[in-house]
Amino acid sequence: MNAPVPPTDPLVLFMPSGKRGRFPVGTPLLDAARSLGVYVESVCGGRATCGRCQIEVQEGNFAKHKIVSSNDHISPKGPKEERYERVRGLADGRRLSCSATVQGDLVIDVPQDTVINAQIVRKAASDRIIPRNPAIQLCYVEVDEPDMHKPLGDLDRLNAMLAKDWGFEDILVAQHLLPDVQKILRKGNWGVTAAIHRDLETSRPNLIALWPGLHNMAYGLACDIGSTTIAMHLVSLLSGQIINSSGTSNPQIRFGEDLMSRVSYVMMNPDGREAMTKAVRQAVNELTVKVCSESGVNPDDILDAVFVANPIMHHLFLGIDPTELGQAPFALAVSGAVHTWSREIDLAVNHGARVYVLPCIAGHVGADAAGATLSEGPHRQDKMMLLVDVGTNAEIVLGNRNRVVAASSPTGPAFEGAEISSGQRAAPGAIERIRIDPDTLEPRYRVIGVEQWSNEEGFEDAVKATGVTGICGSAIIEVVAEMYLSGIISEDGVVDGGQASRSPRILQNGRTFSYLLRESHSGGPRITVTQNDVRAIQLAKAALYAGIKLLMEKQGVAQVDTIRFAGAFGSFIDPKYAMVLGLIPDCDLAEVKAVGNAAGTGALMALLNRDYRREIEKEVSRIEKIETALEPHFQQLFIDAMALPNKVDPFPRLAEHVTLPEKKAATDADRGGGRRGREGRRGRS
């Protein structure tokens, strides 16, 4: 309609997008929404049979928008809509936008079922709506029957109808459909539902699946393949609703606990790469079966899948040898986004399903970091955001809309409880919270699965079932921080043997000292924090902090405005203790947030909206990658960061939350201690 629309035409406002326009009386609301670029699903193409295009009228006087909206301003239900309501049911207030027409001013609510909330992502910053624009569209068409006068093939007539009814020109047909086209058309009595995939606007639309009649289901997977854990969301591509979320451990662990040992396994074993690829793909398939069967979804209805992973998992999952990532110059086989087919990676979903893998940022900063960046969006805001995902390597992203920089830092596995004498995974029996009395040096702690603190009544009874078996990753941060706050260790990380006179918990082990957290008890182990444990945490935190500091220097900032901790580790640590130890720079603690599996959230966003794919592809090419190994300054930053919280940076805001021990002036001897790294060191007593 190029004719000017009279200003007296009714005004329609769509929420939550806020897009608005004037439409002649009688315009179907689906058409109105589409002409404004408001995404409303429809499978049946306006036949009022799929029920995907539901909307709701918001009644009331919206003075701000100068709209008085009422159900009187929408057409009453016609026979088709009434039939749908009778057969399928329609919730109170819901209308089918393909049938309901504009009769007056309206405020229309387009229900958004994809809300990232606390059930999905632990401690999410806030509930967030993901606007939808999936790469997959289901299209019901009624195909002309064969005509000997115009002997176009069945498939060609199907394509012609997809062009006519849905605007898809020049369709590319997945080869595996050719043998089935005729049977499906006849089974559906010439009515069929086609799944069209179009990711890039410049690519030809792809016919990837076909069903007889109206097929009103399409699902997608968003999956984060971590070294330890594989996490997956099953999502309806038609409603945007998250149907199920689950996780499983990465079976590659049997080839090597950490990433580098898996690369070594590939280098040492001729079939190593293949075995690990097979293992991870099988685990993804088993997890897919699990999320599907728990929610009654047929895996054949899964048409799209988005993956994020760190570079080594990314390569192994795609069947690429990761050897090059194990050595400088850490060359990725492919850094750009990977667009492929489910069958190319043996994914047990629809044979025509598509796969999208987010781009990798660098050899040590993977598609998972890209996913976390997409989720948290430093590039979408003015605040200087620090985004940290701690694993064996810490992936660090720092920036705002002007500029984003990224690096990885070799923290090692200490934060995950490895290389810690009493370290263990987060599981029942593991200590997860610790406080130390600065006067008596007596500890109290909480154990996973038990309500009481260790000094509370009933604790020993409660832990009988599991015992107290070790310290989990998040608690290691706390115990070292508490040891520092209570003066058991100095700011240089030395366990102070001089304190042994104050408390029997300070134990001597040869030339160093350790702290006794819990005596061996009814068969449970003796749990101590040794000088080596403290050194391991110091090294890890120094690596992390040095990486952060390097990026802050690149950005030319002395402070960050907001901090996001992604990943499991980040979900459990207390930001206050992270700052006491100097894992992170000084920041308003209210601005330090754990965002759970942000990488998986990024995958989910890319699954539900292909615009996010373009956004992260563009952003990844724009992000400046800093290779810590090439920065001569990194070593000095690392040494400076060994101290608690560190040697050089002020933490003015920390004092608002904790009482810091009296700070001793740095001496040359202290610096030497930093330089000597892992070596044991005599106490100052």
Least distance CB 315 / a copy of itself (angstroms) = 9
Q: Is the CB of residue 608 less than 8 Å from the CB of residue 132? A: yes
Least distance CB 650 / a copy of itself (angstroms) = 32
Nearest CA among 151, 276, 132 for reference residue 218: 132
Least distance CB 198 / a copy of itself (angstroms) = 13
Least distance CB 379 / a copy of itself (angstroms) = 18
Q: Is the CB of residue 449 less than 8 Å from the CB of residue 428? A: yes
Strands 624-625 and 403-409: parallel
Nearest CA among 398, 671, 392, 418 for reference residue 547: 398
Q: How far apart, in whole angstroms, are the C-alpha atoms of residue 422 and residue 534? A: 12
- The CA-based diameter of the chain, rounded to the nearest angstrom, is 104
Least distance CB 276 / a copy of itself (angstroms) = 13
Residue 104: alpha-carbon gap to chain centroid: 43
Least distance CB 143 / a copy of itself (angstroms) = 11
Least distance CB 223 / a copy of itself (angstroms) = 18
Half-sphere exposure of 383 (CA within 13 A, CB side): 15
Nearest CA among 403, 389, 409, 301 for reference residue 628: 409
- Choose between 247 and 352: whose C-beta lies nearer to a copy of itself: 352
Q: Torsion over CA of 250, 251, 256 and 262, rounded to 10 degrees?
A: -70
Nearest CA among 341, 358, 339 for reference residue 350: 341
- Choose between 65 and 339: whose C-beta lies nearer to a copy of itself: 339
- Choose between 406 and 488: whose C-beta lies nearer to a copy of itself: 406
Least distance CB 631 / a copy of itself (angstroms) = 10
- Choose between 172 and 217: whose C-beta lies nearer to a copy of itself: 172
Token reading at 525: 């182990």
- Choose between 41 and 304: whose C-beta lies nearer to a copy of itself: 304
- Choose between 86 and 149: whose C-beta lies nearer to a copy of itself: 149
Q: How far apart, in whole angstroms, are the C-alpha atoms of residue 608 and residue 219? A: 10
- Choose between 48 and 406: whose C-beta lies nearer to a copy of itself: 406
Q: How far apart, in whole angstroms, are the C-alpha atoms of residue 428 and residue 643? A: 32
Least distance CB 204 / a copy of itself (angstroms) = 7
Q: How far apart, in whole angstroms, are the C-alpha atoms of residue 539 and residue 635? A: 12
Q: How far apart, in whole angstroms, are the C-alpha atoms of residue 558 and residue 536? A: 27
Q: How far apart, in whole angstroms, are the C-alpha atoms of residue 199 and residue 304? A: 11
- Choose between 24 and 319: whose C-beta lies nearer to a copy of itself: 319
Q: Which residues make up the interface to a copy of itself (CB under 8 A)?
A: 145-156, 159, 170, 172-173, 175-176, 178-179, 181-183, 202-204, 318-321, 324, 328-336, 338-341, 344-345, 360-363, 625, 627, 629-630
- Choose between 109 and 627: whose C-beta lies nearer to a copy of itself: 627
